Amino acid sequence: MTSVPPPAHRDLAWAVRQAARRVGEQSPTVRGSDWRQAIVQTVNADGTVTTVDGIVARRMHTYLAPAAGDVIVVTVSSAGDWLAAGRMASGDGAWTAFTLAGTWTPNVNYYTPSYRVNGDGTASLCGLASMSGALTAGMVVATLPTAARPAKSVRVTVQVAVGYFGVMTIAPNGDITLNDFNPTPPSTGGKYVQFDTFSRYRLA
C-alpha cells in the first residue's frame, strides 16, 4: 500500500520544483541560446551597449551609430555571452516628400524630391527639381527636417544645367544649397537640382 505524503511535504516539493524552474528560465546554460528585444541605455567605448535592464551586449559590426533609446535585438549564447544584433526597424520605411524653396518645382519625369532615414545612421534623398532663371551662389533649394539633417556638412558635385556643374551641400541646419559653379550658368534657361546624388549620406 502506497502512503500519501503529508501536505507539508507536498508543498515543499512543489516549492522546490518552482524554484528550479525559475533558475532554469534565467540561466542560459540550462535554457540554451535565446534572443529578445531590449532598449539601449548607454553606448560604451569598448564596442558594447548597456540596456535599461542591465545587460551588457557586444555590438555586431553591422550595428552602426548606436544611440540611447534604440530598440535592439539582443541574443545570448549558452555560455551567457550577450550580443547586440542590431536596431529594430521603426516607421514604415516610406519616402517623405520635402518642401522646395523659391521657384523650384518637382520635375514630373522623376521621383518627387523626398528623404528617407535609414536604420544604419544614414539618410537618403531622391528626386529632381527644376526652375528657370539665374542661379546665385549659395542659393537654398530646400530645407530638410531635423531627422534628415547631418551633424556636419556633406557635399557632392551635380550638373545644374546642360554643360554646367556645381556643388550641392547639405548643412547641419538642413539647408540644401548650390554653389561653386563651373562655368557660371547663364541667367536664363532651365536649371535643375539632382537630389538622387545624395543616395546615401552620413547623419552623425
- Say how many C-beta atoms besides its own lie within 10 A of residue 81's C-beta: 12
pLDDT tens by residue, 110-139: 999 999 998 778 999 999 999 998 999 999
Q: Which of the four pLDDT bands, split at 50, 70 and 90, describes residue 8?
A: low
Angle among Cα 56, 58, 61 to the nearest 5 degrees reads 155
**Residue 165's pLDDT is what?**
96
Would you say residue 17 lies in a domain? Answer: no
- The count of C-alpha atoms lying within 13 angstroms of the C-alpha of 152, restricted to the half-sphere facing its C-beta, is 2
- Whether the CB-CB separation of 154 and 139 falls below 8 Å is answered with no
Which of 69, 88, 107 is a domain's end point?
88
Q: State whether 121 and 190 are in the same domain.
A: yes
pTM: 0.66
Spell out a b/e string for 42-70, using b for 16 or more CB atoms within 10 Å of the CB, else e: ebeeeebbbbeeebebebeeebbebeeeb
Q: What percent of the chain has pLDDT over 70?
A: 82
Residue 144 lies in a domain: yes
CATH code of 155's domain? 2.60.40
- Lowest pLDDT segment from 44-48, 118-122, 175-179, 200-204: 118-122
The pLDDT of residue 65 is 78
198 and 122 housed in the same domain: yes
Q: Which of 88, 109, 134 is the last residue of a domain?
A: 88
In the prediction, which pLDDT does 78 show? Answer: 81
Residue 156: inside a domain, yes or no?
yes
In a domain? residue 171? yes
Which range marks the domain in which residue 41 is found?
33-88
pLDDT digits 0-9 by tens, 168-196: 999 999 999 999 999 999 999 999 999 99
Could you give phi then psi for residue 22, rounded to 5 degrees? Answer: -65, -40
What are the angstrom distances between the C-alpha of 134 and each of 60, 127, 192, 195? 49, 21, 11, 19
| Domain count of the fold of the chain | 2
pLDDT for 2: 56
Report pLDDT for 123: 94
pLDDT at 30: 54
Domain boundary among 49, 69, 88: 88
Question: Residues 51-62: what's their mean pLDDT?
Answer: 92
pLDDT band at 82 (very low <50, low <70, confident <90, very high): very high
